[in-house]
């Protein structure tokens, strides 16, 4: 059993953006299914739940303590870790292992007052970790903080979850080119931009990754209200096997 679900599909501003009345934000205000929370993924196996990122603020309401097997962080930007600032104050004697990139600073006082969070030694890029229920390989990404993407593998199924990033480092690109990707879930925050985007992919870079890595299915995530507006007009122009993430959507 390997069930994977999009928990949040939004960028840091989320959808709706506070005080915005663009078409995408208005749609999200009228229909909750179009809301986009902080970008994160749920992996559920018979052993429990693994979260990739923890930017959703009400994780304590969504998950029983005993359900959470581990948390894996892509990086220490607030929109990916803010949910931990409540969870950490659990007083349960068991700790929750938190895997992470080699970022000495973390976010605010999270390392200093880790509470129930048991920060593990930093992942070493390209070194596969075999958990009891699946394996994971961390890949360096290109972002304004030290950031890792993850390749999740189980019984011949391969999924890459790559956010936040603008393009890919050559080493990660080469690693992925050697894989047959059943799924590629990729940061695509912005509509096509004429200037080179900073810190996040736009549609042009996402299409480049699509053609280069040739995943069986691709899914765009970390979506801004600007991209949502663009998709409302131009979504049909994307390849048939390129999907748009939605909060709560089942991947497999």
**Which structure tokens are listed for 4?**
């994977």
Q: Is position 187 an interface residue for Mn ion (rule: CB under 5 A)?
A: no
CB of residue 91 vs Zn ion: minimum separation in angstroms? 7
5, 44, 86, 246: residue in contact with its own copies (rule CB under 8 A): 86
Length of the chain measured in residues: 252
Interface with its own copies (CB under 8 A), residue from 44, 48, 90, 103: 90
- 242 contact partners, CB below 8 Å, separation of at least 6: 206, 210, 218, 219, 220
The yes or no reply on residue 200 touching Mn ion (CB under 5 A) is no
Cα angle: 37, vertex 7, 12; to 5 degrees: 30
Q: Which does 27 bind (CB under 5 to 8 A by kind): Zn ion, its own copies, Mn ion, none?
A: none
Starting at the edge strand that comes first in sequence, how are the strands of the sheet with 117-119 ordered? Answer: 3-8, 40-45, 48-52, 68-72, 96-99, 117-119
Out of 27, 36, 77, 225, point to the residue binding Mn ion (CB under 5 A): 77
**Minimum CB–partner distance for residue 21 and Zn ion (Å):** 7
164 binds, among Zn ion, its own copies, Mn ion, none (CB under 5 to 8 A by kind): Mn ion
Give CA–CA dist 221/9, Å, rounded: 5
18 near its own copies, rule: CB under 8 A: yes
Site residues, Zn ion (CB under 5 A): 17, 20, 22, 25, 225
């Amino acid at each position: 059993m390997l069930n994977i679900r999009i928990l949040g599909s939004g960028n840091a501003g989320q959808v709706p953006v506070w005080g915005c009345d663009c078409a995408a934000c208005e749609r999200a205000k009228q229909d909750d299914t179009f809301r986009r929370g902080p970008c994160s993924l749920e992996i559920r196996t018979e052993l429990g739940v693994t979260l990739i990122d923890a930017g959703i603020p009400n994780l304590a309401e969504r998950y029983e303590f005993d359900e959470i097997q581990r948390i894996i962080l892509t990086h220490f930007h607030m929109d990916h870790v803010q949910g931990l600032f409540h969870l950490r104050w659990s007083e349960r004697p068991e700790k929750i292992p938190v895997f992470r990139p080699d970022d000495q600073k973390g976010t605010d006082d999270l390392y200093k007052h880790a509470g129930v969070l048991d920060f593990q030694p930093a992942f070493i890029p390209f070194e596969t970790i075999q958990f009891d229920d699946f394996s994971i390989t961390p890949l360096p990404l290109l972002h304004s903080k030290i950031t890792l993407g993850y390749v999740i593998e189980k019984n011949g199924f391969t999924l890459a979850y790559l956010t936040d990033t603008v393009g890919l480092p050559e080493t990660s690109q080469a690693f992925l080119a050697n894989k047959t990707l059943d799924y590629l879930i990729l940061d695509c925050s912005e509509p096509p931009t004429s200037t080179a985007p900073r810190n996040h992919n736009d549609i042009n870079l996402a299409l480049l990754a699509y053609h280069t890595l040739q995943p069986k299915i691709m899914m765009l995530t970390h979506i801004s209200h600007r991209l949502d507006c663009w998709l409302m007009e131009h979504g049909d122009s994307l390849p048939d096997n390129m999907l748009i993430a939605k909060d709560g959507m089942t991947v497999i």
